[in-house]
Amino acid sequence: MKRPLKHLHKRTTDKHDFFDALFDDLVVFILSKLSSTASSPSQFINILSTCKRLNRLGLHRMVLSKAGPKVFSIKAKNWSEHVHRFFKLCVNAGNLNACYTLGMIRFYCLKNRASGLSLMAKAAMKSHAQALYSLAVIQFNGSGGTKRDKDLRAGVALCARASLLGHIDALRELGHCLQDGYGVKQNVSEGRRLLVKANALELAFVIRAVTSASPSRSLSTSPLLTCRAVDYTVCPLLSDYGYNVTVPVVQPVNWFMREWFETGPGRVEMVAGLRLCAHIGCGRPETRAHEFRRCSVCGKVNYCSRGCQALDWKLRHKMECSPEEVVVQDNDGGADGGGVELGNDDVV
């Protein structure tokens, strides 16, 4: 007798996409975290290109407002109208990093001075330290205008505010201003104290970074902190304390400007006689002829600020500078101190 056939019931498995079941608010929250911690622009863009829903929610106001500074580390060769539009979306969302970065690009690269200043001022009013310092440099040099547009007191005030927010370059610049009596009543002892404080903050920052990266490793055995040596690839100010560390990471917008004017569309202006700040980590160009001051010894390099001069002196120029028979002087002098040349003063 034959065994009865089993009727195989067809299994119905409903494929369920758990991502579609997530609420939009939760997805926006997750994307906000991802945008704030993205290590590069491509990392964030790849998320947006995954699907239509992520693309739509990735452009949410909250997500764009939380985007970290590395999301805006675009290269000059990749600049396009689409990138510009993305920056404007972030600015409209209230992202301070986007305001500062786009402000710098518009002011120096696209020559839209008024719009660039407005964006940097918007970030500065929200206590963005880098924007405050950049506005100070513009005030010191009268960038975008004439020599008479310099406002040294405003530059000192902006540096003071940025230094209170922990901006080391602003603190260093303020120390030089006090030491030289540039835009403020001269106070050599207070200026030297601020320069020492800037060195101490730099040292504390690096030690904190080293210990957090390898807490079990002592400072004496760390490869990032070694004995002093003659090597200009190390951090300049920390050599004052007998330590050598790798050069600090340059801000993305500063690299963008250097690439723009060295190999990008802005190189035409450099050929026309305008100059870049010689400090590798700056990238600021002149907005008029003889805006920056030259080294008073060799006359071969130009700096937008005393802070950049001090950093580049210890980083590189100390080993390259040699006096010429005739000291080159810019014709950008005046009673306001704008023509005071930058000497190779050693920073404490």
DSSP for 75-136, written as a single string: -GGG--HHHHHHHHHHHHTT-HHHHHHHHHIIIIIS--HHHHHHHHHHHHHTT-HHHHHHHH
Residue 16 confidence (pLDDT): 57
- Crossing angle, helix 168-180 and helix 306-315, to 10 degrees? 110
Residue 311: strand, helix, or coil: helix
Amino acid letter at 289? A
> 252-286 pLDDT, tens per residue?
899 999 999 988 888 877 767 888 998 888 989 99
pLDDT tens track for 289-328 = 889 988 888 888 899 988 888 888 877 888 888 776 544 4
31 Cβ neighbours under 8 A, 6+ residues apart: 47, 54, 57, 58, 60, 63
Higher pLDDT, 84 or 239: 84
Which pLDDT score is estimated for 229?
Answer: 36
Reading the block at residue 24, the tokens are 């939009």
Mean pLDDT, rounded, for 138-163: 93
Q: Are 192 and 178 in contact (CB under 8 A)?
A: no
As beta bridge partners, residue 276 has: 285
Would you place residue 238 in the very low, low, confident or very high pLDDT band (cuts 50, 70, 90)?
low
Asked if pLDDT for residue 178 goes beyond 90, the answer is: yes
Q: Report the range of poorest mean pLDDT among 18-27, 245-254, 297-306.
A: 245-254
pTM of the model: 0.79
Mean pLDDT for the chain overall: 80
* Model confidence pLDDT, tens digit, residues 3-14: 554 544 444 445
The single-letter code of the amino acid at 282 is C
Confidence label for 247 from pLDDT (cuts 50, 70 and 90): low
Mutual angle of helices 129-141 and 96-104, in 10-degree steps: 30
Does residue 342 sit in helix, strand or coil?
A: strand
DSSP code for 276: B
Pick from 316, 283, 339, 323: nearest CA to 130:
283
193 has a pLDDT exceeding 50: yes
Distance CA 299, CA 340 (A): 13
| pLDDT (mean) for 137-165 | 93
pLDDT surpassing 50 at residue 228: no
pLDDT tens digits, one per residue of 318-329 = 888 877 654 444
pLDDT of residue 67 exceeding 90, the answer is yes
